[in-house]
């Protein structure tokens, strides 16, 4: 018990450091304030921001700040400088004639060091629509794939993990046979240590090939939920970081990334087995004798947010979904001369813009799964996120036709706070059957 308490304290300390847009333990603080309190503007309306800079908490004066402005994740359209007078400067970001976001990148030199910051504002983003079309055979394709995957026996091994267990929660490392025979995924299963029947939460991971543990979301089990934090690559999640680094170098980066592996064909694409494994994880959770027989929630962030939405579209057993800044969303959006979704295939990789790969993306993009979701969805995202840009989060949210709720946190980059994590659980509780 003492060991898990120390681990939790360390994790919470890390969350506190990273839950901000300014560098941890920096002497310099940027404060950027749009002239619209919600950071949103009408098309063709001029947007302005007021910039302030503090060192050691002292407002700075007379410094020259360089800026560059352009549409989100697109080439810069305007550059310039402003001088802080009485600690402030005003910069015009101009406007947009089509729905989207503008980004203002800021730089300053202070005592020989360069400090950077940025801020994005939106122009009628509630009118953003997807570039990615939905194939006519989308539902039949995935229906057939699910039927084939269902023929694979669900073999499971389950091992108690004392270091993540407590007087309130039992934790197990599970290994589940998934989309085809001999193909496995792992996960940490956390179960309330008390008698009863409980809702189940399926939680897929963020992007990458890296170690994982269930500590940050242990409060789900402490609040009466069974939770599976899933790994998607068939690699034990408790391996050391050095081993994961070797694996990641081999097939987790650049044009070797699993996110582009087999993309030239919808049946060979790496993510097909991942999507089907998500449904297999729900198979497992709904087989547990402790399940309440009604509630199945999909929840995740970034790639995990994408997979939560995808699983919700694929599996009618899922009764609610909570997704933070989902990846894999309108990935071909760059073809419309605006930001596309992570993993930014058209800027981070080579040879992606081919008819075959674009066609495959249509079967794997979150926006097309969002069109068939029928259950309540909660989404949260920030405007300053460059990993999963707000353009694509808005597109997913605008696409949803089911009951939905959004928590928009403009200042956030690619993170959510511990408070928001608990708000998500509160929303889930309110949407239990």
The whole-chain average pLDDT of the chain stands at 93
Q: How crowded is residue 73: how many other Cβ atoms within 10 Å of its Cβ?
A: 18
Provide CATH 2.60.40.1930 ranges for the chain: 23-127
The answer on pLDDT for 175 being more than 80 is yes
Q: Is 329 one of the catalytic residues?
A: no
Q: Is 26 one of the catalytic residues?
A: no
Q: Burial, 63: exposed, middle or buried (Cβ in 10 Å; 0-12, 13-18, 19+)?
A: middle
Q: Which secondary structure element, helix H or strand E, spans residue 215, and what is its range?
A: none
Instruction: Write down the pLDDT at residue 24.
Output: 63
Q: What is the pLDDT of residues 25-39, one digit of tens each?
A: 789 999 999 999 999
Q: Which CATH superfamily groups domain 23-127? A: Macroglobulin (MG2) domain (2.60.40.1930)
* Fold of the CATH domain 138-430: Rossmann fold (3.40.50)
* Least confident window among 175-179, 239-243, 278-282, 422-426: 239-243
Instruction: Write down the pLDDT at residue 9.
Output: 36
Instruction: Write down the pLDDT at residue 254.
Output: 77
Instruction: Write down the pLDDT at residue 17.
Output: 33
The answer on pLDDT for 10 being more than 60 is no
Across the range 259-279, mean pLDDT stands at: 97
Catalytic residue among 117, 233, 344, 414: 414
Question: What are residue 48's DSSP bridge partners?
Answer: 92
Provide CATH 3.40.50.1820 ranges for the chain: 138-430
Catalytic residue among 302, 324, 329, 393: 302
Across the range 274-287, mean pLDDT stands at: 98
Q: Is 302 one of the catalytic residues?
A: yes
d(CA 127, CA 405): 17
Q: What is the pLDDT of residues 98-147, one digit of tens each?
A: 999 999 999 999 999 999 999 999 999 999 999 999 999 999 999 999 99
The answer on pLDDT for 202 being more than 80 is yes
Catalytic residue among 217, 283, 365, 385: 385
Q: What is the pLDDT of residues 341-396, one digit of tens each?
A: 999 999 999 999 999 999 999 999 999 999 999 999 999 999 999 999 999 999 99
Instruction: Write down the pLDDT at residue 249.
Output: 83
Pairing mode, if any, of strands 404-408 and 78-83?
unpaired
Q: How crowded is residue 35: how many other Cβ atoms within 10 Å of its Cβ?
A: 15
Instruction: Write down the pLDDT at residue 351.
Output: 92
């Amino acid at each position: 018990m003492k060991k898990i308490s120390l681990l939790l304290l360390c994790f919470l300390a890390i969350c506190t450091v990273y839950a901000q847009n300014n560098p941890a333990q920096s002497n310099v603080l940027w404060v950027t304030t749009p002239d619209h309190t919600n950071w949103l503007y009408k098309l063709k309306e001029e947007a302005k921001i007021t910039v302030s800079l503090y060192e050691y908490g002292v407002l700075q004066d007379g410094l020259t700040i360089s800026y560059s402005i352009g549409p989100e994740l697109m080439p810069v359209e305007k550059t310039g400088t402003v001088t802080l007078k009485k600690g402030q400067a005003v910069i015009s970001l101009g406007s947009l004639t089509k729905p989207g976001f503008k980004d203002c990148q800021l730089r300053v030199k202070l005592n020989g060091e360069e400090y950077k910051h940025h801020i994005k504002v939106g122009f009628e983003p509630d009118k953003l629509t997807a570039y990615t079309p939905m194939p006519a055979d989308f539902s039949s394709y995935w229906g057939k794939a699910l039927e084939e995957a269902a023929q694979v026996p669900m073999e499971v091994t389950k091992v108690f993990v004392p270091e993540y267990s407590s007087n309130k929660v039992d934790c197990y490392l599970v290994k589940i046979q998934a989309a085809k025979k001999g193909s496995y995924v792992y996960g940490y299963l956390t179960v309330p240590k008390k008698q009863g029947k409980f809702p189940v939460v399926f939680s897929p991971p963020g992007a990458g090939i890296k170690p994982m543990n269930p500590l940050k979301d242990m409060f789900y089990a402490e609040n009466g939920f069974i939770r599976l934090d899933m790994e998607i690559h068939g690699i034990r999640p408790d391996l050391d970081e050095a081993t994961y680094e070797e694996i990641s170098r081999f097939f987790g980066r650049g044009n070797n990334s699993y996110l582009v592996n087999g993309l030239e064909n919808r049946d060979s694409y790496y993510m097909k087995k991942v999507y089907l494994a998500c449904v297999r994880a729900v198979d497992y959770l709904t087989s547990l004798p402790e399940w309440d027989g009604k509630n199945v929630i999909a929840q995740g962030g970034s790639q995990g947010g994408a997979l939560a939405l995808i699983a919700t579209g694929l599996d009618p057993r899922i009764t609610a979904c909570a997704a933070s800044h989902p990846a894999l969303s309108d990935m071909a959006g760059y073809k419309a001369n605006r930001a596309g979704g992570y993993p930014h295939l058209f800027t981070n990789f080579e040879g992606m813009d081919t008819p075959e790969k674009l066609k495959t993306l249509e079967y794997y993009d979150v926006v097309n799964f969002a069109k068939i979701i029928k259950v309540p969805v909660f989404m949260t995202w920030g405007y300053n996120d460059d990993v999963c840009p707000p353009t694509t989060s808005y597109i997913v949210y605008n696409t949803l036709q089911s009951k939905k709720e959004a928590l928009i946190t403009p200042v956030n980059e690619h993170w959510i706070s511990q408070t928001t994590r608990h708000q998500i659980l509160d929303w889930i509780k309110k949407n239990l059957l």
